[in-house]
Structure 1
């Protein structure tokens, strides 16, 4: 009988483990673009992360010790709120790994500290859809499912909107600014007591000229409120440009116009001018921005930085499109 009970326990444990999903590790990074210590310690930290592509990263910029940091100034209240949540407001840089505050030191994070968080399983699964909606809206749909276990944990889902890479020469000498936090989309209490329970959360936001929309993604974290442990995390892709552009019969080319990236003007490539009957500039939502001069340069200096589509229509109706990066 004892052998049968032991075997039953092993089978049940194996079934539960099979139902669990891999726990995705997330690093919350607290830094500042005017912080000289950040400039000295962040490069080694970023180099470490390159060896762990499966680990997620989000960078907050609290207003202390330097309130004039441009990333902090964009949204000081929410940057500070997340910093205060962990009780580390007042100094940068700091890191929190899946809810565990790492003590400050000459090295922000070591491989051993990160390795200790890998290979764990989770009772939860998160999926995030990030897609263009109607008009200027971008829709975010999050599905959280409990795949195993039963408990009445108090949970909170945190959904961050972040810019994947910001090109900015900071006062502290840093030029590399990955996964910059912009705003919270979700701060929602969640109840999933039983295996099989699921919940769907949705939010809508509009793009901001300060961002490069093509660099935006959503980071999601399911966090236990009593000890702040992050039980699961996930990252969305970038919002797909499901727009008028994508519905046309077009093909991609790298040399439809020049220069690219561009600051002040663009000009249609000579090889396309002879057969072109029109050229138009669209934003990522498929909305017309302006007509382009086929034969001469067209000024784009007034446009916000970010990505656009150039569409050239030729005789017979064939259209060719290519993406423009406006600096």
Structure 2
């Protein structure tokens, strides 16, 4: 009997050890995702949400708000009608019946959060995550090229499956008839990923890159658009990390098929070669996924070679200019 107990105890210990992620020295900041469900004609929403938004704003990049709109209590809510399927899908996902409602990191917020928001959010910020996300988009006329990059610092053995969700949002929107609730923030406009999300491989230290093509409404201002992406558990609904990124390249850039520039290899590791059929002096710029320029150079010949071994692995945009005018922009993957 003694040996039976020891065997059972050993099995339980082994099961516990295989159900937790492997430890990792690398971690990143965990951004809090607040999914807000409201209605532009809802009086209670008008009383609570503007003050809540001010609280969220105080946390700057540590908290991301993502706004959805319900047909409750009024189906003629204009922001609900503008993206009905997108809003209905997320409402159904959380089984939401009334507004205003908040889900924070995938979990429904307590009812007293409206009077205790600062303290509640403060208790969630400052934690770390072993999943890093970067996101953004590149506009070109009426077309958008969105992208997200996910890196897991460990293999998360035994845990649930992860999926990536991404939305194109308008950062500031004026809508509704209630004077105190006309300003709306991070309004979800386009769902860039499928309803069920995109599966993420639970493999450590391998950059996973995703891209999304979408049409940009002519009434939208590119400077007022952003992509919000987050990694969520497929079963628990827990949001493990989130990111928000805006336009990283001006909408005057050309993404056409004309062979004014090519680069190889792509994906690349330590070196890339840029070739061009355009004569004269040219300027080459490389931007990371957050829109930060990480490399700039000028060259005269038909090609140039760039050492990329010191670049962080991930997605980049390579832009070629001649005489101050953009010739072409290409996406580069470093792995």
**1:188-203 correspondence runs (5 A):** 188-203=197-212
Match of 2:242 in 1: 233
Find 1:207's aligned residue among 216, 234, 245.
216
2:177 paired with 1:156: no
Q: Secondary structure at the match of 2:111?
A: coil
- Residue in structure 2 matching 1:120, options 127, 142, 145: 127
The aligned runs of 1:133-282 (5 Å cut-off) are 133=140, 136-151=142-157, 153-168=160-175, 170-171=177-178, 173-187=180-194, 188-238=197-247, 240-243=249-252
Cα distance, 1:143 vs structure 2? 1.1
Q: Could you tell me which residue of structure 2 aligns to residue 101 of structure 1? A: 108
CA contact (8 A) 1:154 1:189 kept: no
Give the deviation of 1:77 after TM superposition. Answer: 1.5
Assess if the C-alpha contact under 8 Å between 2:172 and 2:187 holds in 1: yes
**Cα shift at 1:171:** 3.5
Give the number of aligned pairs: 232
From the superposition, tell whether residues 25 and 32 of structure 1 become closer, same or farther in structure 2 (CA, over 3 Å): same
Shift of 1:132: 2.2
**Distance between the aligned counterparts of 1:182 and 1:239, measured in 2?**
19
Q: C-alpha offsets along residues 120-142 of structure 1, whole Å, 9 cap, x if unaligned? A: 22121111131124x53210121
User: Which of 84, 87, 91 is the aligned partner of 1:76?
Assistant: 84
Q: Which residue of 2 aligns with 1:324?
A: none
Give the aligned partner of residue 308 of structure 1: none
Residue 43 of structure 1 and its aligned partner are, at CA, apart by 2.1
Q: 1:108 Cα shift?
A: 6.5
2:246 is paired with a residue whose SS is coil
Pick one of 52, 56, 69 that aligns with 2:64: 56
- Using the alignment, how far apart are the partners of 1:209 and 1:171 within structure 2? 26
**Does the 8 Å contact 1:129/1:141 carry over to 2?**
yes
Larger RCO, structure (CA 8 Å, separation 6 or more) = 2
8 Å CA contact 1:162–1:180 kept in 2: the answer is yes
* Deviations 1:224-280, CA, capped at 9 Å, x for gaps: 1111100110001235324169xxxxxxxxxxxxxxxxxxxxxxxxxxxxxxxxxxx
C-alpha distance in 2, partners of 1:200/1:109? 38
Q: Where in structure 2 are there 5+ consecutive unaligned residues?
A: 1-21, 255-323, 326-335
User: Does 2:32 correspond to 1:25?
Assistant: yes
